[in-house]
């Protein structure tokens, strides 16, 4: 018998125990989907004291998701209450916590437990947390997120700064901002959201720009009470909205960026160029804000109000490079000291870390650090050769960037479930991608990456140490197709 997704569920189930690492969006999803599919023996491990992942960690002023909220929701938990087309971070965090609570996951989560080691011994994963707690599981789901290790810039004198200094993902809410002089280093999605949110509150805002960014304009209207009532009364309307936005995103964006010459890509570029020309009146400032590379080469920044914010009388765009940080502020290469009370590093994340520093040791004592000595590689971003029964959500080389990672994780989880069914039915005791399939996938991915807009001449966190985008280089439909069913020949099975 096949399910709607075409999956053949195991009829007689071997009792499998699961360890899910991380209680963010993907961990919560995993627990819910396991439960739905009759796998009740699992524990979620979460290093922090709350669920919510990236939305728990990123609490900076202006934090929001620039993927539309009705797409950035679980397909099985539409939310008629979203306040805006692009809702703020605290609402998203509350959504994940509510869904976890409604599914009884708080009781299934060991909060404050950071797993530091996972080792495959005699067919089972042995886990050890920093606290000394240990556990064993047949299957590990690494739902550890993508961007969660802050990149601290290598700038001289950071430790000399006399005011408050912190990374955007470690916001210090004890620090007063109103009426202060704030410096922001970085013009990625985060820096842009911070600048827009803070400029009206502070005495002076200095934005230190190393590289200009293209800005895609995007209105962010609130949903009216009437609209929300309509969503509540007609949940099927929300399902339709989810599907429509997903299609729009795939066709208008996901498929565009993987083909640098596509007409959709040209439309995105025109919209960004037009936004700059129309919105920035001072020609000198306009040129400083004009990137010298193609739109969407770096992860596209989406903002309704950044250009307004940076043109505020109390805002300054600083394009001279940072020489060093001093007690009183930031000294730039022109010798000027930009005096500051608060300095925010919106300098991004170490995108190649994934579940590390957790030590993972697979079959035959092979460590993840060895497997990833050159760079992170995984078959379809899910499975690593010699690491049986260990599956990643949003692992290396998947669709990341301007996508709904929820949609990505849902597709990945249904794929993983089909492999889990093989274990549960007794068809095999161990399953992981073969070296051959992984090598072939990686070679094909690297080749396909050449056509993408990410390789058209910019520096970004998408690029690996060789300058090759580490993201999914094909249209989103191909991802859907791949996720529909594992190719039997791509996996090695034992037992």
The residues binding ligand NAP (CB under 6 A) are 64-67, 147, 153, 155, 168, 185-191, 193, 208, 210-211, 299, 322, 346-349, 401, 459, 461
CB of 134 to ligand NAP, least distance (A): 34
- Indicate the residue among 349 and 387 with the shorter CB distance to ligand NAP: 349
Give me the phi and psi of 42, to 5 degrees please: -150, 155
- The rounded distance, in Å, linking the Cα atoms of 326 and 316 is 19
- Indicate the residue among 254 and 346 with the shorter CB distance to ligand NAP: 346
CB of 258 to ligand NAP, least distance (A): 16
CB of 401 to ligand NAP, least distance (A): 5
Cβ distance 213 to 187 under 8 Å? yes
Which helix or strand (DSSP H or E) is residue 271 part of? Answer: helix 263-279
- Indicate the residue among 69 and 347 with the shorter CB distance to ligand NAP: 347
Q: Which long-range contacts (CB under 8 A, 24 or more apart) does 439-442 make?
A: 441/379, 441/380, 441/490, 442/377, 442/397
Residue 428 structure tokens: 């095999």
- Indicate the residue among 187 and 255 with the shorter CB distance to ligand NAP: 187
- The rounded distance, in Å, linking the Cα atoms of 297 and 457 is 7
- Indicate the residue among 191 and 396 with the shorter CB distance to ligand NAP: 191
CB of 146 to ligand NAP, least distance (A): 8
- Indicate the residue among 61 and 348 with the shorter CB distance to ligand NAP: 348
- Indicate the residue among 148 and 386 with the shorter CB distance to ligand NAP: 148
- The rounded distance, in Å, linking the Cα atoms of 230 and 323 is 55
- Indicate the residue among 343 and 360 with the shorter CB distance to ligand NAP: 343
Is residue 357 reached through a cis peptide bond, with omega within 30 degrees of 0 on the bond before it? yes
Cβ distance 344 to 182 under 8 Å? yes
Q: Which residue is nearest to ligand NAP (CB)?
A: 188
- The rounded distance, in Å, linking the Cα atoms of 274 and 284 is 17
CB of 297 to ligand NAP, least distance (A): 11
Please, which residues bridge with residue 140 across strands?
19, 390
Tell me the residue ranges of DSSP E strands in 219-341: 301-302, 315-318, 322-326, 329-332, 337-339
- The rounded distance, in Å, linking the Cα atoms of 202 and 51 is 32
């Amino acid at each position: 018998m096949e399910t709607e997704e075409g999956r053949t569920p195991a009829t007689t189930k071997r009792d499998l125990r699961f360890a899910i690492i991380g209680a963010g969006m993907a961990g919560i999803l995993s627990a819910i989907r396991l439960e739905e599919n009759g796998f009740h023996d699992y524990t979620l491990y979460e290093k922090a004291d709350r669920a919510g992942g990236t939305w728990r960690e990123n609490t900076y002023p202006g934090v929001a998701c620039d993927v539309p909220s009705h797409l950035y929701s679980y397909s099985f938990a539409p939310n008629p209450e979203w306040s805006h087309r692009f809702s703020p971070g605290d609402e998203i965090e509350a959504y994940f916590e509510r869904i976890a609570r409604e599914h009884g996951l708080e009781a299934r989560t060991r909060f404050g437990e950071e797993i530091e080691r996972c080792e495959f011994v005699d067919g089972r994963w042995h886990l050890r947390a920093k606290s000394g707690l240990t556990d064993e599981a047949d299957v590990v789901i690494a739902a550890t997120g993508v961007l969660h290790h802050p990149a601290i810039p290598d700038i001289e004198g950071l430790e000399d700064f006399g005011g408050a200094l912190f990374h955007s993902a470690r916001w210090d809410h004890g620090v007063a901002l109103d009426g202060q002089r704030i410096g922001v280093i970085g013009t990625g999605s985060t820096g842009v959201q911070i600048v827009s949110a803070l400029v009206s509150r502070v005495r002076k805002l200095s934005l230190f720009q190393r590289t200009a960014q293209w800005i895609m304009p995007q209105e962010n209207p609130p949903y009216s009470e009437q609209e929300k009532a309509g969503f509540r009364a007609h949940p099927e309307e929300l399902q339709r909205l989810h599907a429509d936005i997903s299609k729009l995103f795939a066709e208008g964006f996901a498929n565009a960026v993987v083909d640098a010459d596509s007409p959709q890509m040209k439309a995105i570029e025109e919209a960004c160029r037009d936004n700059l020309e129309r919105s920035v009146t001072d020609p000198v400032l306009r040129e400083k804000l004009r990137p010298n590379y193609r739109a969407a080469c770096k992860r596209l920044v989406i903002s309704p109000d950044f250009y307004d914010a940076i043109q505020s009388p109390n805002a300054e765009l600083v394009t001279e490079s940072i020489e060093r940080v001093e007690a009183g502020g930031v000294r730039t290469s022109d010798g000027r000291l930009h005096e500051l009370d608060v300095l925010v590093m919106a300098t991004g994340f170490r995108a190649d870390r994934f579940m590390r520093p957790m030590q993972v040791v697979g079959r035959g004592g092979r460590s993840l650090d060895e497997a990833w000595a050159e760079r992170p590689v995984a078959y379809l971003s899910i499975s690593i050769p010699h690491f049986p029964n260990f599956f990643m959500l949003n692992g290396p080389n998947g669709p990341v960037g301007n996508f709904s990672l929820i949609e990505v994780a849902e597709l990945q989880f249904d794929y993983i479930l089909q492999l889990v069914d093989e274990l549960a039915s007794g068809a095999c005791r161990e399953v992981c991608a073969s070296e051959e399939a992984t090598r072939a996938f990686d070679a094909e991915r690297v080749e396909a990456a050449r056509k993408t807009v990410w390789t058209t001449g910019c520096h970004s966190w998408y690029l690996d140490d060789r300058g090759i985008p580490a993201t999914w280089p094909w249209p989103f439909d191909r991802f859907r197709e791949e996720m529909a069913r594992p190719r039997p020949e791509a996996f090695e099975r034992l037992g």
